[in-house]
Amino acid sequence: MQKRRIGRTDLFVSQICLGSMTWGEQNTEAEGHAQMDIAFARGVNFIDTAELYPIPPKAETQGRTETIIGTWMKARGNRGDVVLASKVVGRTANEWFRGGRPSKLVRADIFDAIDKSLKKLQTDYLDLYQIHWPERPIPWGSNPTRVGAADQADGPADETPIAETLAVFDELVKAGKIRHFGLSNESGWGLMRFVAESDRQVGPRAASIQNAYNLVNRTFEVNLAEACRREDVALLAYSPLAQGYLTGKYEDGALPKGSRKQLFDRLQRYETPNAAEAFGAYNALARQFGMEPALFANAFVTHSPVVTSNIIGATSIAQLETALDSAEVDWSEEMRDAVDAVHQRVGNPCP
């Protein structure tokens, strides 16, 4: 599997990254281990997790995913072969992360998060440590197609300055707890503010940004793509299947037993007006090219020129194999042109 460099770092990661947010909720420890075994046998060397996981976030399950990854690396003795990424939560009123109090992107909370993550992962360092979402109040995903009055409201008076947060990550690098720093669910303004502070030697340069990117959400291309290209920041794309809607399994109102929508009903990001039309168009296009929709949607992300690594997710081995197969698709100019023609008509219904 092709390896690609993350930003200006010395990290070379597979074009597919193994996402992990179902492990500890929809998947058992044994199933998580099996997924990692298969993915690494197929050439993957990159795993992404978060202190928040598994999804949906709950006090009683929080941290299970990191624990599952830790037991796998210990059992296989392969920590040196794994590019390991995790995330610290942004500002949240949920108190279970910090033992009974809300969390912010301040020194005490970030150090608490990294130390807990390292213990669960049974390692003394992370290759990449990311801010899961910004502390300032912005629309989830950070790249809306419209901005309303509520989105223009000032943040809380005690909002942590970006420079203060970045300085903490500088401490983590110097302490050897992390090798590199990344962002997630961040906007163009936020990315450039972090870059500016790193240019002032406040802290490490952002090596990556982990944002949603898929057939129904290409908002990354509007301004972040240029910023990332010119500043050497890698896109780690999440949600390539739009939480399952680009697999075709929810077509015509279907609700498969065991699906995330049936279990948790947390897919509102992909249930916006006109989204159904877009899903239908892309799923039909995939079949016209002789591919199942899940393979086609993953291949679009895996082979996109703006993507460094496609973060896949699966609850079954069959789903995992399909996602991994996307690296072997001969993504043609004809496919790209056909996708762009649909996008010209339907836009980005699910930012």
Is residue 311 a contact partner of residue 237, using CB atoms and an 8 Å limit? yes
The number of residues in the chain equals 351
Query: 1 near 14, Cβ under 8 Å?
Result: yes
> Which tokens sit at 181?
């720093």
Q: Establish whether 125 is a catalytic residue.
A: no
Spatial separation of the C-alpha atoms in residues 339 and 222, rounded to whole Å: 17
Paired strand residues for 235: 209
* Helix 107-121 / helix 64-76 crossing angle, nearest 10 deg: 40
Q: Which residues, in sequence order, are bridge partners of residue 250?
A: none
Report helix, strand or coil for 342.
Answer: helix
Buried b or exposed e, range 234-257, using 16+ CB within 10 angstroms: bbbbbbbbbbbbbbbbbeeeeeee
State the pairing for strand pair 234-238/309-312: parallel
| Per annotation, catalytic residue among 53, 213, 245, 250 | 53
Q: How far apart are CA 204 and CA 64, in angstroms?
A: 29
- Per the CB < 8 A criterion, the answer to whether 8 and 290 are in contact is no
Cite the active site residues. Answer: 53
